[in-house]
Amino acid sequence: MAMSETEMMLKGYGLTTAEMFYRMPDFHSVLNTFVWQDYDVAPDHPRLFKFIEFWQEEIEGKLHSVRFTHRKMIASGEWRNVTGEFTLH
């Protein structure tokens, strides 16, 4: 069973965004971009590297470079369990 996004964030996953620059198979002088996002674990980034391996094996456009960033959505001290709620007026 797949984890929900909240469960993944609580287990240390963060949002990884990668911008892939690749060459068109028929036009080697043209660079295109592809943006990929998924929840991944830093610093190893297993999902990102799995996608890059998939690209190299299955996609005809040869990768020129990859630029990525990683952001934890929930960090320590930012999340707290709320047991009650009250309203004014």
Q: Which residue has the higher pLDDT, 88 or 37?
A: 37
C-alpha 80/C-alpha 18 separation (Å) is 30
What's this model's pTM, rounded to 2 decimal places? 0.76
DSSP-assigned states of every residue in 45-76: -HHHHHHHHHHHHH-SSPEEEEEEEEEESS-T
The model's confidence at residue 28, banded by pLDDT at 50, 70 and 90, is: confident
The model's confidence at residue 86, banded by pLDDT at 50, 70 and 90, is: low
The model's confidence at residue 18, banded by pLDDT at 50, 70 and 90, is: very high
In this prediction, residue 2 carries a pLDDT of 81
8 Å CB contact between 14 and 71: yes
Alpha-carbon Rg for the chain, nearest whole angstrom, is 19
